[in-house]
Structure 1
Amino acid sequence: MNIKCGELNFKIGYNSDWEIPKNVAKFVCKNEGAHFGGSPEINYNIEFKDMIKQDNRQIISTKQEIIVGCEDNLETRYLFIKGAPYPYAKYTEVDESNISIEVVNNFKDMFDIDTMFWSLFALERHMIKRDAVVLHCAYTVYKDHAILFSGPSGIGKSTQASLWEKHRNSQILNGDKSLLLKQGGEWCADGWPVCGSSEICVNKRTKLGSIVFLNQGKENTVVKLSKSNAVKKIISQLTVNYWNLDFVDKAFTLAEDIANDINVYELTCTPDVSAVEALEGILKEGEPWIL
């Protein structure tokens, strides 16, 4: 199965009777011609095992749901479900282009869920090498530009995106995440195969218009963030491998580049159309693309 996500072309080899998420099909390329962009840069090979053995790579990070080992800049990841006594999968970089994935048979039936399936591939690690980052946000399109509503879980991203869809005829392309990357020197939002509970997943690239960080409140106020505050907000909602200092440095560099090119706002809002009106008024003042 050939996949293109952002600018990364990769191939996944697995048992054909394995049930995987339906959204995977939106990122599949049926041939290796112009649509795929040539031969795959990474080959993932998935095998099913009764148990997973630990290798000899030095452990560099231990968290509740992931243990990371490393040797010669090649990673091993042991992936856990919270509370489980053993990992459900192991990700092993054999070299720069070949990755082995072992999945425990007892968990095999759980991978029709987006987050479970894509957790196997460490995509954020490979995206950062291609100057792309994953932002936790509701990805909407209005007047051919992306407006990204971002903030911690439960802050109201889906609510604000739905209000714009209802009252301004915008389109929601992903309710949970977007890939951010540059095309022709301009920042764009792109489709991402993980969409959370929204179940909205459209594989489409759009020029990035604005990023809006949300707060809940009794009144609607909009503030354009300074560059330094914008970088802090962006970093807080990026998928970052904090055990990898090169990854962290690159993420900050890309966040600074985004903040230099794109206006970032903070919207304190109510869950109704007045929030749309407040934000739209500010965007009309500062965003030429919205006029």
Structure 2
Amino acid sequence: MNTSDKLKIGKWILKYKYSYEKFNFMDFPWKIDGFRYEINEGDYINFIHDIEDSNINYDFIYIPENKVYAEHNGFQQHIIYEDKHKNLTWTLRKSSNKENILVYKINNKWDKWDLIYDATKTNGKYAFEYLHQIFSYSVLNYGGIVLHGVLMEHEGKGIIISAPSGTGKTTHARMWRDSENALIINGDRALCGKDDDSGKWTGYGMPWCGTSGEYINRKVPISAIVVLERDDENSIEKLEILDGFIHMLPNVTAPTWEEKLMNNAVDMLQDMVESIPVYKLKCRPDLDAVKVLKAEIDKL
């Protein structure tokens, strides 16, 4: 039995087409229940994820010869190929024996993703988790950008806490939650776009949150972007626009090998740092660091 389901992630609508026997959203409701969406008349579907025929024999899958990107990450390889029409074949394979685990076909508009091969035997769960990167790249074509960082809300103000992994952004955000009743909307990724009504940069929840396990479906206008840096003393400075851009560029989720999407990301990040103050917080992992930052946020 073939069926479909709709998710609304931020202001973008994702329609899933799938075979019920192979894949069932109810297998992992904690990931998507808060994002289910009943499409209204006139709603525009941004993305279609088709996994109806995802178990076809790999021997019949055509892989283009033009390799545009390859990344080796421990036990897995992430390799992307492009055909003459700029459509992509996106593969995830084992490093040990080069065996493909997942294969996607992505059209050149980045609005239709076909999962054509899935050897994970997880009934779509692994493919859904892996989808975060494809989604993050695709929204760049449709007014969205994903930043590596915690998205939280305090007294109606959205705050993005960004830092390299292991620097303490999760610890800092949880101190805000525990001491200041801040709400963590996403513990690892900040999905951002301009609100259709206000025109202001807004942060949105999405069902991918790295290993943090913290996410909700909520939106909040972004009031500040904060770059964390470890130090023996707590201090804060507001960065100039160029410095803010330079500090945040490494935290953008964008394909360096795809010029158009990368340019879109750069343009949106530039608009964000011109519209939203960027702070550098040098800090220890203690509550005084929260107080130092809060004193600045309260001025906004």
TM-score, length of structure 1 as denominator length:
0.88
Equivalent position to 1:244, from 258, 263, 267: 258
Which residues of 2 match residues 13-28 of structure 1 at below 5 A? Answer: 13-17=17-21, 18=23, 19-20=27-28, 22-28=30-36
Please name the residue that 2:93 is paired with: 80
Please name the residue that 1:144 is paired with: 156
SS in 2 for 1:196: coil
Higher mean alpha-carbon deviation, 17-26 vs 189-198, is at 17-26
1:213 aligns with 2:227: yes
Q: Gaps (5+ residues) in structure 2? A: none
8 Å CA contact 2:185, 2:204 repeated in 1: no
Please name the residue that 2:78 is paired with: 66
d(CA) in 2 for partners of 1:99, 1:212? 34
8 Å CA contact 1:5, 1:27 repeated in 2: yes
8 Å CA contact 2:10, 2:205 repeated in 1: yes
Equivalent position to 1:56, from 60, 64, 77: 64
1:279 aligns with 2:279: no
Q: How many residues align?
A: 281
Which residues of 2 match residues 1-291 of structure 1 at below 5 A? Answer: 1-17=5-21, 18=23, 19-20=27-28, 22-29=30-37, 31-33=38-40, 38=43, 40-46=45-51, 47-51=54-58, 53-56=61-64, 58-64=66-72, 65-70=77-82, 71-80=84-93, 83=96, 85-94=98-107, 96=109, 97-105=111-119, 107-109=120-122, 112=125, 116-119=129-132, 122-183=134-195, 184-285=198-299, 287=300
d(CA) in 2 for partners of 1:111, 1:82? 21
1:9-55 CA distances to partner (integer Å, 9 max, x unpaired)?
221122335344621222221x2216xx6253332211124536342
Against the structure 1 CA distance between its residues 73 and 51, is the aligned structure 2 distance closer, same or farther, given a 3 Å change threshold? Answer: closer
d(CA) in 2 for partners of 1:21, 1:164? 28
d(CA) in 2 for partners of 1:254, 1:83? 39
d(CA) in 1 for partners of 2:190, 2:164? 14
Against the structure 1 CA distance between its residues 269 and 133, is the aligned structure 2 distance closer, same or farther, given a 3 Å change threshold? Answer: same
Against the structure 1 CA distance between its residues 148 and 115, is the aligned structure 2 distance closer, same or farther, given a 3 Å change threshold? Answer: farther
What percent identity do the matched residue pairs reach? Answer: 22
Q: Gaps (5+ residues) in structure 1? A: none
8 Å CA contact 1:20, 1:111 repeated in 2: no
Against the structure 1 CA distance between its residues 10 and 57, is the aligned structure 2 distance closer, same or farther, given a 3 Å change threshold? Answer: farther
Against the structure 1 CA distance between its residues 94 and 167, is the aligned structure 2 distance closer, same or farther, given a 3 Å change threshold? Answer: closer
Q: CA RMSD in A?
A: 2.3
Deviation at 1:79, TM superposition (A): 1.9
d(CA) in 2 for partners of 1:82, 1:26? 35
d(CA) in 2 for partners of 1:113, 1:102? 14
d(CA) in 1 for partners of 2:167, 2:94? 25
